[in-house]
Amino acid sequence: EFYSSVDSMQDLAQVEQELINATRSYLEAQQNQLNFYRRYMEQIKREHEWAVGQLKLDEYLGHPLHAFRLIKRLVLDWDELIFETIIENKPREDFRSFVDALTKDLGYPDQSELQGAIKGLARLQRVYNLTTSDLADGVINGYHYDSELQWRESYEIGVQLFDLGEYKRSLEWLQVAFVLLRNSPLEKDENGYLSDIREYAAMANFELGNPERADRLLKQILTPEPIHSAQQTRKYLESRVTGKNVEEKNPSWFANYTRLCQGRRLPEKGSGNPLKCYLDGKRHAYFTLAPLQVEPVHLDPDINVYHGMLNSKQILSIFVEVDKEEMVRSAVAGEGGKRTVRDLRVSQQTWLNYTAPVMQSISRIVQFVSGFDMAGAESMQVANYGVGGQYEPHPDYFEVNLPKEFEGDRISTSMFYLSNVEQGGYTVFTKLNLFLPPVKGALVMWHNLHRSLDVDVRTFHAGCPVIVGSKRIGNIWMHSGFQEFRRPCNLTSDSYKSVAYRN
Ligand SMILES: O=C(O)CCC(=O)C(=O)O
Ligand SMILES: [Fe+2]
């Protein structure tokens, strides 16, 4: 799978580069072969002309060498030089086997990849309120990127969204495609693409509960030919009950999620945020010379950002380790805890243990900042999101179906940002009115469990869709086993605080 991480998309760029090279050599080889045929024809033609110019044909052929040449050409040359090489077409065979090997080697995207990429675009539109015309113009949140879409691309998006049942969005893309094609000075639309667009637009309108509009669009493309597909579509639609214009129903968390992803908090009660950044050199001797740069972003539950925990060199070393592993599409726990791939989590990931030197440093950082015993730590999960990649609101604890290999639930999360993100990709806490833009080298830490070890529902959080850029994070989840002396329970339980936050 390629679309779910920017890193794996790089393989595709390489595939395309190699395809360009291979196609170039193919064209060149074909050209050489054609030139050879042409030269051969010219040569024979010259001989014919010479013969006709000089002598009568029977005189010419009366010469034994001429007779021999003609027969030799027809028996051998035409066959070997022309017929066989045309049929065999070596350049084409070479090209075909090169492409086969290349796609086997580096992989090749299929329809489902295209769908994944298009769903990603639709997700960006939904979460960030991006208009279709802006996106098609390459304008994202007011930033102009030099990459507007062609009518064909907009059309393809419209068609795919139609197939996905996203009729309203589909219609918008079809309209953009229509206008682009109609206003395009180069395209003459000999193939009737305007009609194709109208036909899809008609069907989308029909599904949206506008049968009159659908009919009007289809009438615009009716041709005298009875087999034309617009007529068939019309018949088909007449036989069906029109769709209902149902407003897209979003889940209850969606409004909070999108607002925070857009960097908008609800106004705070009281006198605003009293939290101040501070330096902490006392937490552990390790931080005496380089005190922790703490940005407390929430109290109760405490969420802290520790800035400058990893430098670029260390982050590069982490990715040297990542390159030794295989990145796989991230999954979520499905029914009965089974690994399930879903659109709610679109990224690729791998796991790193703490043997490499850089990973030993990371282990020390987490140990000294959190005070936890690393005996309870999972390996670090390194993830890379693709454009539109996200992780919808979830808790990090298991609560049920805790995998057997762990002692206790995930008591805390330590999340390192391993990249900046050009646009989007915030981490948001949907129940705490909190958003965090990724800052390369920073570490975010919080507890997922109350001191009673009951789950703290307030810690629901999400990774917002990446709009532009490649988001990389490294997560270390700590389990509650081994930590009884590190984070002892209180005399009174504070798990009541979570009650109001369940849904
Ligand atoms: O990408 C993010 O900001 C959050 C990721 C996350 O919550 C997770 O991987 O569990
Ligand atoms: Fe998480």
In ligand 1, which atom is closest to the CA atom of 428?
A: 3
Whole-number Å distance, alpha carbon 394 to ligand 1 midpoint, is 9
Residue labelled with tokens 């390159």: 323
User: Which residue matches tokens 């979520």?
Assistant: 332
CA distance 272 to 433: 13
Which residue has its alpha carbon closest to ligand 1 atom 10? 396
Considering the domain architecture, whether residues 347 and 488 belong to the same structural domain is answered as yes
CA of 257 to the centre of ligand 1 (A): 14
Is 259 part of any domain?
Answer: no
Q: Which spans in 308-392 are helix H?
A: 312-323, 357-370
State if residue 475 touches ligand 1 by the CB under 6 angstroms criterion: yes
Q: Are 402 and 482 in the same domain?
A: yes
Residue 225 confidence (pLDDT): 63
Residues 50 and 124 in one domain: no
Domain assignment present for residue 252? The answer is no
Alpha carbons 12 and 457: distance in angstroms, whole number:
40
Whether 168 and 60 map to the same domain: the answer is: no
Q: Say how far apart CA 21 and CA 27 lie, in whole Å.
A: 10
For helices 211-220 and 193-207, angle between their N-to-C axes, nearest 10 degrees: 170
Q: Give the pLDDT score at 144.
A: 93
Q: Cα of 391 to ligand 1 centre, how many Å? A: 6
CATH code of residue 383 = 2.60.120.620
279 is a domain residue: yes
Last residue of a domain, one of 83, 106, 129: 106
Which stretch of DSSP H or E encloses residue 50? helix 6-54
- Nearest bound ligand to CA 475? 1
Does residue 221 fall inside a structural domain? yes
Q: Which atom of ligand 1 is nearest to the CA of 390?
A: 1
Tell me the residue range of the domain where 465 lies. Answer: 270-501
Q: How many domains does the chain contain in total? A: 3
Q: Is 461 in the pocket of ligand 1 (CB under 6 A)?
A: yes
In a domain, 246, yes or no: no
Residues 471 and 7: their CA atoms lie apart, in Å, by 10
Q: Are residues 296 and 222 in the same domain?
A: no
- E-only strand ranges, 275-347: 278-280, 292-298, 303-307, 328-329, 332-333, 339-340
CA of 71 to the centre of ligand 2 (A): 81
Ordered alpha helix ranges (H), 89-166: 90-106, 111-128, 132-136, 151-163
Q: Are residues 132 and 154 in the same domain?
A: yes
Q: Which of 73, 89, 106 is the last residue of a domain?
A: 106
The predicted structure's pLDDT at residue 360 = 98
Q: Are residues 126 and 99 in the same domain?
A: no
Question: Is residue 388 domain-shared with residue 443, that is, in the same domain?
Answer: yes
- Same-domain status, 291 and 385: yes
The Cα 310–Cα 415 span in angstroms is 12
**Do 408 and 425 form a contact (C-beta atoms < 8 A)?**
no
Contact 389 CB / ligand 1 (< 6 Å)? no
Same domain, 38 and 14: yes
Both 312 and 452 in one domain: the answer is yes
Q: What is the pLDDT along the chain (503 residues), one digit of tens a residue?
A: 888 999 889 989 999 999 999 999 999 999 999 999 999 999 999 988 888 787 778 888 888 998 999 999 999 999 999 999 999 999 999 999 999 998 888 788 988 899 999 999 999 999 999 999 999 999 998 899 988 999 999 999 999 999 999 999 999 999 999 999 998 877 666 668 898 999 999 999 999 999 999 999 998 886 656 556 787 888 888 888 888 777 778 888 999 999 999 999 998 777 667 899 999 999 999 999 999 999 999 999 999 999 999 999 999 999 999 999 999 999 988 777 788 888 889 899 999 999 999 999 999 999 999 999 999 999 999 999 988 999 999 999 999 989 899 999 999 999 999 999 999 999 999 999 999 999 999 999 999 999 999 999 999 999 999 999 999 999 999 999 989 889 987 777 888 899 889 87
pTM of the complete model: 0.88
The reply to whether 13 and 60 lie within a common domain is: yes
Phi then psi for residue 474, to 5 deg, are -130, 120
| Residue 391 CB–ligand 1 contact under 6 Å | yes
What is the 462 CA–ligand 1 centroid distance (Å)?
6
Residue 369 lies in a domain: yes
Assess contact for 383 and 330: CB atoms under 8 A. Answer: yes
* Assigned domain for 306 exists: yes
Cα 173 to Cα 180: distance, rounded to the nearest angstrom: 10
- Give the whole-angstrom CA distance, residue 405 versus residue 240: 54
Choosing from 238, 258, 282, the residue where a domain stops is: 238
In a domain, 189, yes or no: yes
Kindly report the protein residue whose alpha carbon is nearest to atom 9 of ligand 1. Answer: 475
Ligand 2 centre distance from Cα of residue 107 (Å): 30
CB atoms inside a 10 Å sphere around CB 241: 8
Output the pLDDT for position 384: 95
